[in-house]
Amino acid sequence: MSDVAASWCQRLSAVSDRFPASAVYGGRSFQEAVAAADELDARLLVISAGLGLIDASSNIPPYACTVLVGADDSVANRITSQFSIRGWWDALKGTSPFARSLISFVDEDQGLILAALSNAYLAMIADELAALPEPTLERVRLFTRTPVSRIAANLRPFVMPYDDRLDGPDSTLRGTRSDFASRALRHFVASGLTGSAREDAEAVQAAQSNWRMPAKFDRVRHDDAALLSMMRDHWDAAGGSSTRLLRIFRDELGIACEQSRFATLARQVRGEKA
């Protein structure tokens, strides 16, 4: 992975066009994080699968890279050896000219460290979080859908216990699973919590205590022929992105499809469209 990371970073360094990171990233997940940072007048950091840990005010080249296996731009597609998210992150942060270490950022401020992280991105940064000195770790508040059992033991006390009620009928911040963590962070910021990790977790539990869970819907399963037909019908609406198309299938159409199977079928449709 180190060779791929070195080659990737050389290509990034050669790109002359640079833009503020805040202008490069989009989507609701990022916008909720921006809104929370603005409300707190706080520094916003980005955990980037292509650049490392960066400040959102940094000027960066446009790029396409993710660690999600099966996605169009997954770095896993370029790795011939066994791929691991943590292995890629270690190789990237040691090579990227844009990256800084987590400790170098958090040592510059003494406020809370609010981290909204999907499963994959928590896996990337977990070792750096877990290695923070205890007084610094006490300032961390984690927002994630990752099961607590899969989180390092010394990080578990700092996970804020948001659950599916955030998407229920009583929540004002409903959304999709892909933006769950940043919506939870936004709710936390709006609640103005400033206690210890235990006190903040109890306050989060209390805030959700009268919220109802969302209604559950069983996704419909289809054979390959039917899935291919629907992919062709919605391909343009997804902008030719299999990642967006998967979200349309799951969130809008209620269609069940295992991710690796979906990726294989999407490649076939992409070939037809080429």
Let me know if residue 237 belongs to a domain. yes
170's CB contacts (< 8 A; 6+ apart) are 210, 211, 212
Pick the last residue of a domain from 208, 234, 251.
208
Domain count, the chain: 2
pTM: 0.81
Beta strand pairing status for 220-221 and 255-256? parallel
Asked if residue 173 and residue 237 are part of one domain, the reply reads: no
Q: Tokens in use for 129?
A: 């979080």
Residues listed for the chain: 274
Does residue 182 fall inside a structural domain?
yes
Task: Judge whether 214 lies within some domain.
Answer: no
In tens digits, the chain (274 residues) has pLDDT values of 899 999 999 999 999 999 999 888 888 899 999 999 999 999 999 999 999 999 999 999 999 898 877 677 888 888 888 889 999 999 999 999 999 999 999 998 889 999 999 988 999 999 999 999 999 999 999 999 999 999 999 999 999 999 999 999 999 999 888 899 999 999 999 999 999 999 999 999 999 999 999 877 667 788 899 999 999 998 888 888 888 888 788 777 878 788 778 888 988 998 888 7
Q: Is residue 80 part of a domain?
A: yes
Residue 13 sits in the same domain as residue 108: yes
215 domain residue, yes or no = no
Report which DSSP code applies to 213. Answer: P
Cβ atoms < 10 Å from Cβ of 157: 15
CA-to-CA distance for 16 and 185, rounded, in angstroms? 34
Q: Are residues 58 and 166 in the same domain?
A: yes
Phi, psi of 174 (to 5 degrees): -70, 155
Domain stop point among 151, 185, 208 = 208
Domain endpoint, select from 208, 236, 260: 208
Side-chain half-sphere of 133: how many Cα atoms within 13 Å? 7
In-domain check, residue 195: yes
Asked if 26 and 126 sit in the same domain, the reply is yes
Residues 56 and 162 in one domain: yes
Computed on alpha carbons and rounded to an integer, the radius of gyration of the chain in Å comes to 20
Q: What share of the chain is helix, strand, coil (3-state, %, to 5)?
A: 50, 10, 40
Q: Is residue 262 part of a domain?
A: yes
Q: Which domain holds residue 145?
A: 2-208
